[in-house]
């Protein structure tokens, strides 16, 4: 399954104790993007497609951990979930899945298809005013994926999906805990606009491959398939990592003198890792 | 980067730290009672007591699901909930908040569990710097004598059984607490702990704490600190 130029996985900043990185043979593919962008539908179709091609696939998403999934769902029923608490609860859920599902699956050579990754946790925290340095270090226990597909859409596309698909606005997706706007609609627009802006800012330093999700679902699916095929063949791994290195190491365009993001321990772009 | 957010509230935050059996819980409740009698509005918060997280922690412990990382994260989540919902608003309101264990407990325990110390310290960077942090310094054998004599059932994680230090739970507890002690000792200077000699009598330790509180807060209640009159203090909201 691994492609000819497969690079070893690395952790962003802080290696988890007890993980032998060279044992991880699988591919880690992340689908990210705001609420109601159509991620889950795409992940389902991609899973079927990959399995048809003979890959073993683990698909996982937020609040699905055995440890914290139920607790998070219960916590969201109340309205006393503070922003730091929410961030850390989701991170607990993420870490549980990382250590108990994702890493074992990668060790076994699976394609791990993630419906959201640390970037949603980061975006929500940053959109709620938490420090970016804090959240970047905190999520530094994550593995650098082989591919991050960012489903990008404008707020108006999300709204039509919410109205047509779900018929109602959700409390948390509307960011009502932030106290913006007079009603669910106003709040949804302001909160999701802010989230999209954060995702956009994360895009370059973290090497997202941006997929225009404002198109019909079929076209989006084809675009995702093409990128995933490249990754499975080992073709676009280096490119994503190269972007990461270029952006975090030096100055950004526009003259900002300090890097916006903390270094993400990118994979070397040409030579193999020393170990 | 500083470890904690700066103090910028009307209230006061007092924390106690130390290994199990150091007597810190006894001392902080005596101190809280004394402060109440002196007219301070006092609230209390205990480590690992958030109702929001309780079920998850219980499940994880019962099924022994925790890794060092998730154990660290669930305690940070618990702490964040207590801070956001309880400690922070009370400090803003001008209360004296007494905390039985604080982020230092995580720094010590998680480091012993092999979690990257810099990562754990960053994790708690949203915490408020305490006005006073008391550390109850006690030799390991004294603390063990208090714990092992008084309670018959040590619990799995409390004894550090997840670390595989020993198959004997008492022996595991002994080694685990010994390692935590080393971590605490290393933090004394860095974190500016007020060290209390926890081998002294309960009365002598309490006198020492009160002396330090008077020195820091003054003989009379500072005007910005809330008094008992406007306050309904409840343990662990």
How far does the CA of residue A134 sit from the closest CA of chain B (Å)? 7
Give the strand pairing for B132-137 and A27-32: unpaired
How far does the CA of residue B83 sit from the closest CA of chain A (Å)? 9
Give the strand pairing for A209-212 and B42-46: unpaired
Asked whether the beta carbons of A90 and A121 are under 8 A apart, the reply is: yes
What pLDDT shows up at residue A259?
Answer: 31
B8 or B121, higher pLDDT:
B121
* Whole-angstrom distance, CA of residue B232 vs CA of residue B95: 10
Helices B54-62 and A69-77, axial angle in degrees (round to 10): 170
Q: What is the pLDDT along chain A (275 residues), one digit of tens a residue?
A: 333 344 678 999 999 988 999 999 999 999 999 999 999 999 999 999 999 999 999 999 999 999 999 999 999 988 789 999 999 999 999 999 999 999 999 999 999 999 999 999 999 999 999 999 999 999 999 999 999 999 999 999 999 888 888 888 998 999 988 888 788 999 999 999 999 999 999 999 999 999 999 999 999 999 999 999 999 998 755 333 333 433 333 333 333 333 333 333 333 333 333 33
Buried b (16+ CB within 10 A) or exposed e, A75-110: bbeeeebbbbbbbbbbbbbbbbbbbbbbbebbeeeb
Residue B110's closest CA among B83, B73, B78, B140?
B73
How far does the CA of residue B209 sit from the closest CA of chain A (Å)? 32
What pLDDT shows up at residue A270?
Answer: 39
For chain B, give the percent of residues with pLDDT over 70.
Answer: 94
What pLDDT shows up at residue A188?
Answer: 94
How high does pLDDT run on average in chain B? 92
Residue A170, chain B, CB below 8 Å: the answer is no
* Whole-angstrom distance, CA of residue A125 vs CA of residue A219: 31
Q: Classify the C-alpha dihedral A41-A58-A15-A96 as positive or negative.
A: positive
How far does the CA of residue A79 sit from the closest CA of chain B (Å)? 11
Residue positions counted in chain B: 237
Residue B108's closest CA among B193, B6, B26?
B193
- Inter-chain touch B80–A68, beta carbons under 8 Å: no
* Whole-angstrom distance, CA of residue B66 vs CA of residue B61: 7
| A228: CB partners within 8 A, 6+ apart | A29, A46, A50, A147, A149
Coil vs helix vs strand at B233: coil
Give, in order, the Cα–Cα distances in Å from A110 to each of A57, A78, A148.
Answer: 5, 37, 17
Q: Which chain B residues are within 8 Å of A16, Cβ to Cβ? A: 69
Residue B214, chain A, CB below 8 Å: the answer is no
How far does the CA of residue B120 sit from the closest CA of chain A (Å)? 8
* Whole-angstrom distance, CA of residue B139 vs CA of residue B124: 28
State the residue for tokens 């020492």.
B208
Asked whether the beta carbons of B66 and B74 are under 8 A apart, the reply is: yes
Q: Which chain B residues are within 8 Å of A17, Cβ to Cβ? A: 68-69, 114-116
- H or E stretch at B31: helix B24-37
Of the CA atoms within 13 Å of residue B149, those in its CB half-sphere come to 7
Residue B223: how many other CB atoms lie within 10 Å: 8
Asked whether the beta carbons of B55 and A70 are under 8 A apart, the reply is: yes
Instruction: Determine phi and psi for A128, rounding to 5 degrees.
Output: -95, 10
A160 or B43, higher pLDDT:
B43
The Cα angle at residue A84 between residues B129 and B62, in degrees rounded to 5: 100
- Inter-chain touch B69–A141, beta carbons under 8 Å: yes
* Whole-angstrom distance, CA of residue B181 vs CA of residue B183: 5
Asked whether the beta carbons of A50 and A134 are under 8 A apart, the reply is: no
CB pairs under 8 A between A and B: 94
Coil vs helix vs strand at B164: coil
Residue B211: how many other CB atoms lie within 10 Å: 10
- Mean pLDDT of the B1-5 span: 78
What pLDDT shows up at residue B2?
Answer: 77
Structure tokens at B134: 């008391």
For chain B, give the percent of residues with pLDDT over 90.
Answer: 84
Q: Which chain B residues are within 8 Å of A77, Cβ to Cβ? A: none
Asked whether the beta carbons of A208 and A202 are under 8 A apart, the reply is: yes
pLDDT single digits (tens) B78-114: 999 999 999 999 999 999 999 999 999 999 999 999 9
Q: What is the 3-state secondary structure (H, E, C) of chain A?
A: CCCCCCCCCCECCCCCCCCCHHHCCCEEEEEECCCCCCHHHHHHHHHHHHHHCCCCEEEEECCCCCCCHHHHHHHHHCCCCCHHHHHHHHHHHHHHHHHHHHHHHHHCCCEEEEECCHHHHHHHHHHCCCCHHHHHHHHHHCECCCEEEEEECCHHHHHHHHHHHHCCCCCCCCCHHHCCCCCHHHHHHHHHHHHHHHHHHHHCCCCCEEEECCCCHHHHHHHHHHHHHHHHCCCCHHHHHHHHHHHHHCCCCCCCCCCCCCCCCCCCCCCCCCC
Instruction: State CA B6 to chain mean position distance.
Output: 19
Burial of A54 (C-beta count, 10 Å sphere; 0-12/13-18/19+) = exposed
What pLDDT shows up at residue A236?
Answer: 57
What pLDDT shows up at residue A141?
Answer: 98
Instruction: Determine phi and psi for B164, rounding to 5 degrees.
Output: 65, 35
Structure tokens at B120: 């754990």
Burial of A5 (C-beta count, 10 Å sphere; 0-12/13-18/19+) = exposed
* Whole-angstrom distance, CA of residue A153 vs CA of residue A36: 10
Nearest Cβ partner for A84 among B55, B59, B84: B84
Instruction: Determine phi and psi for B43, rounding to 5 degrees.
Output: -125, 165
* Whole-angstrom distance, CA of residue B144 vs CA of residue A104: 39
Please state the pTM of the whole predicted model: 0.88
Q: What is the DSSP letter of B153?
A: -
What pLDDT shows up at residue B4?
Answer: 87
Q: Which of B1, B70, B86 to mutate to test binding with chain A, by most A CBs within 10 Å of its CB?
A: B70
pLDDT single digits (tens) B152-189: 678 899 999 999 999 999 999 999 999 999 999 999 99
Residue B5, chain A, CB below 8 Å: the answer is no
ipTM: 0.92
How high does pLDDT run on average in chain A? 85
């Amino acid at each position: 399954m691994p492609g000819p130029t497969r690079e070893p996985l690395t952790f962003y900043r802080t290696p988890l104790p007890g993980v032998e990185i060279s044992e991880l043979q699988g591919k880690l593919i992340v689908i990210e993007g705001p609420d109601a962008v159509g991620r889950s539908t795409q992940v389902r179709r991609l899973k079927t497609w990959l399995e048809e091609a003979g890959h073993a696939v683990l698909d996982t998403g937020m609040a699905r951990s055995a440890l914290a999934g139920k607790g998070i769902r219960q916590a969201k029923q109340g309205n006393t979930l503070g922003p730091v608490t929410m961030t850390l609860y989701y991170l607990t859920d993420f870490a549980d899945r990382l250590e108990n599902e994702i890493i074992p699956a990668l060790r076994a050579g699976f394609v791990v298809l993630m419906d959201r990754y640390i970037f949603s946790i980061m975006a929500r925290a940053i959109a709620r005013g938490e420090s970016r340095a804090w959240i970047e270090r905190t999520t530094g226990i994550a593995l650098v994926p082989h591919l991050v597909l960012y489903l990008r859409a404008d707020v108006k596309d999300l709204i039509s999906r919410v109205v047509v698909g779900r018929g109602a606005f959700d409390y948390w997706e509307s960011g009502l805990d932030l106290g913006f706007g007079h009603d669910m609609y106003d709040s949804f627009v302001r909160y999701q606009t802010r989230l999209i802006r954060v995702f956009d800012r994360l895009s370059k330093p973290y090497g997202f491959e941006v997929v225009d999700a404002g198109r019909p679902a079929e076209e989006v699916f084809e675009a995702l398939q093409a990128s995933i095929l490249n990754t499975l063949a080992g073709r676009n791994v280096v490119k994503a990592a190269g972007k990461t290195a270029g952006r975090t190491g030096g100055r950004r365009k526009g003259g900002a003198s300090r890097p916006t993001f903390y270094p993400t321990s990118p994979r070397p772009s040409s030579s193999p890792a020393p170990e | 980067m500083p470890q904690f957010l700066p103090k910028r509230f009307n209230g006061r935050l007092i924390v106690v730290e130390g290994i199990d059996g150091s007597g810190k819980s006894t001392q902080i409740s005596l101190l809280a009672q004394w402060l109440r009698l002196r007219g301070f509005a006092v609230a209390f918060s205990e480590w690992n007591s958030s109702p929001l997280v309780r079920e998850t922690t219980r499940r994880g412990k019962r099924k022994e699901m925790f890794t060092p990382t998730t154990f660290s994260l669930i305690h940070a989540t618990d702490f964040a909930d207590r801070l956001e919902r309880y400690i922070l608003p009370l400090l803003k309101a001008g209360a004296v908040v007494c905390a039985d264990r604080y982020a230092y407990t995580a720094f010590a325990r998680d480091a012993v569990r092999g979690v990257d110390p810099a990562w754990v310290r960053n994790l708690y960077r949203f915490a408020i710097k305490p006005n006073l942090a008391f550390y109850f310094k006690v030799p390991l054998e004294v603390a063990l004598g208090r714990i092992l004599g008084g309670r018959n059932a040590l619990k799995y994680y409390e004894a550090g059984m997840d670390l595989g230090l020993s198959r004997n739970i008492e022996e595991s507890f002994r080694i685990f607490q010994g390692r935590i002690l080393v971590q605490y000792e290393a933090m004394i200077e860095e974190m500016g702990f007020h060290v209390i000699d926890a081998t002294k009598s309960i009365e002598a330790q309490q006198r020492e704490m009160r002396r330090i509180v008077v020195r820091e807060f003054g003989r009379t209640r500072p005007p910005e600190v809330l008094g008992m009159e406007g306050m309904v203090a409840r343990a662990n909201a």
